[in-house]
Amino acid sequence: MGLGWGLARSGKTVPEDSKESDIASQSSETLLARAYGLKSPDQARALYRDWAGTYDSHLENGLGYIAPAQIAAMLDEVLEDRAARILDVGCGTGLVGERLATLGFSSIDGLDFSPQMLAAAAEKDIYHELLESDLEGTLGIADAIYDAGISCGTFTHGHVGPGALNEIFRVLRSGAVFACTIHTHLWADAGFAQHIAALEAGGIIIVEKLVDKPYFEAAEPDGKFCLMRKL
């Protein structure tokens, strides 16, 4: 796979070895706190540029990151077609894509705003196409071409707001499901609950499942795990 790995670099520089080494030496807890404390898109790009090489190790080995497996299982419960075209929104290094591939899904595209994270995802050879795009803007994707969408860890502190849901549902076909995590602290405070309610009231979607689960092993539930279907 990896057929779509041909991204414009837009003049971005390759991370310096010293910056990667600095990231690698920091604790998983410190890096998670930095991610939750992001204040701007430029800060987010800088962090994920330097973190891409050790991201999986920090989250899975250092923190027991179980959210990707949980959200993939949620989608698996309602999506029988293993050839369904799936968009992994905010795919990062491909942790969710790996889980989907293990479950037998074979047509997965990934989207992220960090070219360095996408490069790490490409090495796993699980994506049909990888797209560099910012969820806070208009996605360069045609209307209604995906059978399903999935997202894990994207709707959290300092990352993407609820307005991005409009673009995500635009690229999903009628009847498509979208499984995603939304950090509990942002559910009401950042307007996700209100935005989703408005989409539902407007006849755009229906919320089929909403459960509280932890992102990490042995932690208290800190995420809303949502399953929504486009009408």
Domain 67-230 in this protein, CATH class = alpha beta
Over range 47-55, report the average pLDDT: 86
At 12 the pLDDT is 37
Q: What is the pLDDT of residue 24?
A: 78
Q: Which residue has the higher pLDDT, 200 or 1?
A: 200
Task: Give the model confidence (pLDDT) of 142-184 as tens digits.
Answer: 999 999 999 999 998 767 899 999 999 999 999 999 999 999 9
| 3-class DSSP string for the chain | CCCCCCCCCCCCCCCCHHHHHHHHHCCHHHHHHHHHCCCCHHHHHHHHHHHCCCHHHHHHHHHCECHHHHHHHHHHHHCCCCCCEEEEECCCCCHHHHHHHHCCCCEEEEEECCHHHHHHHHCCCCCCEEEECCCCCCCCCCCCCEEEEEEEEEECCCCCCCCHHHHHHHCEEEEEEEEEEEEHHHHHHCCHHHHHHHHHHCCCEEEEEEEEECCECCCCCCEEEEEEEEC
Q: Is the pLDDT of residue 194 over 70?
A: yes
> Which pTM was predicted?
0.87
* 36-48 confidence digits (pLDDT tens): 777 777 888 888 8
- Parse the chain into domains and list their residue ranges: 17-63, 67-230
